Amino acid sequence: MDTTNKHDWGLVIAGVLLVICSMFFLFAPGLALVTITVIAGAAFLVSGIFDIVNYFRFRRAMDLSGWALAYGALDIVLGILFLVNPLVSAGALAWFIGAFFIVFGVFEVVGAFKVRNMGASMWGWMLFSGIVGALCGLTFFIAPAMLGVFLSVFILMRGASLIFYGWNAGKAMVA
């Protein structure tokens, strides 16, 4: 089956929404931490849902491990926690998101090498995205006040990655 012209519009739409969220953070850095918590919770929830859906869609074609599913579940749990109790969550947001970004970065780096071994060209972008995510996470532990700027960079990278993956989904399935 030739799927070279197929795109995963769900990933593209999720990516565009994340890019829009990142612009919101860049141009309004003074927003209250509670607002950032709610928006981050929504982004985590959306990302987690798409991660789990795509795990089941592509697990055989990409030989995905259970870690990919765990990552999606972690996204959903974080999203729900942030949305249900933003006032409490806001106090620990920088460290909480920092740990999440480090975990995301590790998963993305491991995934990049798996995709490279499959011969897909997108592995370099995945590696770059994972490294940026992990570095953002480390920065939150060192300088929590940088949360707004780095959160914007991370969400921009994640959104761009999802757009790239969704646009090239058909190409990745041809092997």
Note the pLDDT tens digit of each residue in 99-145. 988 999 999 999 999 988 888 878 898 999 999 999 988 987 887 76
Domain-located, residue 96: yes
Mean pLDDT of 37-49: 91
Domain-located, residue 86: yes
**Could you read off the pLDDT of 22-42 as tens digits, one per residue?**
887 777 655 656 777 888 899
Domain-located, residue 123: yes
Work out the end-to-end distance of the chain between its first and last CA atoms, rounded to an integer number of angstroms: 11
Residue 27: per-residue pLDDT: 78
Find the domain containing 35 and state its range.
9-167
Instruction: Give the count of domains, the chain.
Output: 1
Domain-located, residue 40: yes
Domain-located, residue 47: yes
Q: What number of CA atoms fall less than 13 Å from residue 120's CA on the CB side?
A: 24
Domain-located, residue 146: yes
Domain-located, residue 4: no
Which of the four pLDDT bands, split at 50, 70 and 90, describes residue 1?
A: very low
**Could you read off the pLDDT of 2-23 as tens digits, one per residue?**
545 688 899 999 999 999 988 8
Residue 57: per-residue pLDDT: 84
Q: How far is CA 55 from CA 9, 33, 41, 71, in A?
A: 16, 32, 21, 10
Q: What is the DSSP letter of 6?
A: -
Tokens describing residue 130: 């994972």
Domain-located, residue 2: no
Tokens describing residue 151: 């959160």
Confirm if 132 and 105 have CB atoms less than 8 A apart: yes
Confirm if 63 and 114 have CB atoms less than 8 A apart: yes
Q: How far is CA 103 from CA 47, 75, 161, in A?
A: 15, 11, 17
**Could you read off the pLDDT of 145-154 as tens digits, one per residue?**
677 777 778 8
User: Who's near 60: CB < 8 A, 6+ residues apart?
Assistant: none
Measured CA angle at 13 (ends 123, 120), to 5 deg: 15
Percent of the chain with pLDDT over 90: 34
